[in-house]
Structure 1
Amino acid sequence: MYAYEINSFVQKLKKKFRTDDPFEIAEACSINIRYKDFNDLKGMYTVIQRCPYIFLNNSLDEHMEKIVLFHELGHHFLHRHHAVSAFRENGLYDMSSRLEIEANIFAANFIISDEDVIENVGYGYTTEQVAMSMCVPHEMLLIKLNDMNSRGCKLNIPFIPKSDFLA
């Protein structure tokens, strides 16, 4: 899927599932969520014997857990055919990949609405202030702003974040 199509896809999923709770969406899709002690990973999506799994680092706070879960749901909806067949704890993501960037855009569009961005930017807040008020990492907000710009908005972005901020 092209990055500029992800927001439209996310809006369709929100209507279909009638929620923006990632745990409810995962349950509706029969995705198994498991918690694990990871050293370096915040989460991982995989398919084992045709059953989808999302592994989350059990040390995440509730805000980061939701962000990571949406990121992994992005892999489920956008890249299921790329999932590995066996769980490997040391299988670190290639953070420069298109798949990671798309999963980040998916998560940003689920967590942050265009309307909330426009409202907060209208108040004259800095991107750091907007991110803090929305309880999202600054990088996630910047991904959202960049996505909105790709769809025709003209928002000032201080820098384009690296796709590995969830690493």
Structure 2
Amino acid sequence: MTKDEITRIAQKLRNTYHVTEPEKLCQILDIWYDYMPMGTETDCIKGFINRSNRCYCIIINDDLPEELKRIIMFHEIGHYALKHMSKTICTFKDYGIYNVISDTENEANLFVAEYLLDSEETMRTLRETNSFFQTAAILNVPPEILDYKWRMLSYYKRLAGQSPIQVNSDCLKRIQIAGNS
């Protein structure tokens, strides 16, 4: 899937429903969701989406901090919106064996960045703070998601250079959970 297609899909959902709570978007899209404890280790499952008989279900690790649960749920909604379900069951317990997983994870991360981060607001905040990490904090996203937005802004020639961090498709899987090292 192209970056333009991902942007179009994310913007269409955002502009149609005007929803910033992932649970509300799940209800609108008729996606069932639940939370289950799955641990706090770095390699724990953070979330996954499954399809059975045309019914979609997102499960989010209830042991995660609230901010991360929100990002993971939007990531899983991205798999749904980008129609990844025909390719694989999408989980954050990604062993990096298949390229299709890396591609779909990158696409879902781009979806999160495009859905949650308005380009104008992101550019303005980057200018005002002159700090990548402060911008991520102000916009209430992990730096990893801001890196994906930076890539999209660069792709659309709105921002030059690279972000201070360059993350891989498994970046959300590797996020450290507070209290763990």
TM (norm. structure 2) is: 0.81
Secondary structure of 1:123's aligned partner: helix
Match of 1:77 among 64, 77, 81: 81
Q: Aligned runs of 1:93-132 on 2, under 5 Å?
A: 93-94=94-95, 97-132=102-137
Which amino acid counterpart does residue 52 of structure 1 have in structure 2?
A: Y
Number of aligned positions between the proteins: 163
Corresponding position of 2:12:
12
| Unmatched runs of 5 consecutive residues or more in structure 1 | none
Once the two structures are superposed, residues 41-90 of structure 1 have per-residue CA deviations (whole angstroms, 9 ceiling, x without a partner) of: 11101112321000100012221111111100000111132243xx9x8x
Contact 2:144 2:172 in 1 (8 A): no
Corresponding position of 2:52:
48
Distance (whole Å) between structure 1 residues aligned to residue 137 and residue 160 of structure 2: 18
> Greater CA deviation, 150-159 or 116-125?
150-159
Is the alpha carbon distance of 1:148 and 1:135 closer, same or farther for their aligned partners in structure 2, counting shifts above 3 Å?
same
> Greater CA deviation, 54-63 or 98-107?
54-63
Is the alpha carbon distance of 1:68 and 1:53 closer, same or farther for their aligned partners in structure 2, counting shifts above 3 Å?
same
Distance (whole Å) between structure 2 residues aligned to residue 27 and residue 160 of structure 1: 33
Contact 2:113 2:145 in 1 (8 A): yes
Contact 2:103 2:169 in 1 (8 A): no
Once the two structures are superposed, residues 83-102 of structure 1 have per-residue CA deviations (whole angstroms, 9 ceiling, x without a partner) of: 43xx9x8x822556110000
Corresponding position of 2:178:
none
State the percentage of identical aligned residues.
27
Contact 1:100 1:163 in 2 (8 A): yes
TM (norm. structure 1) is: 0.87
| CA-CA distance at 1:18 after TM superposition | 3.0
> Greater CA deviation, 122-131 or 101-110?
122-131
Corresponding position of 1:24:
24
The RMSD of aligned alpha carbons is: 2.1
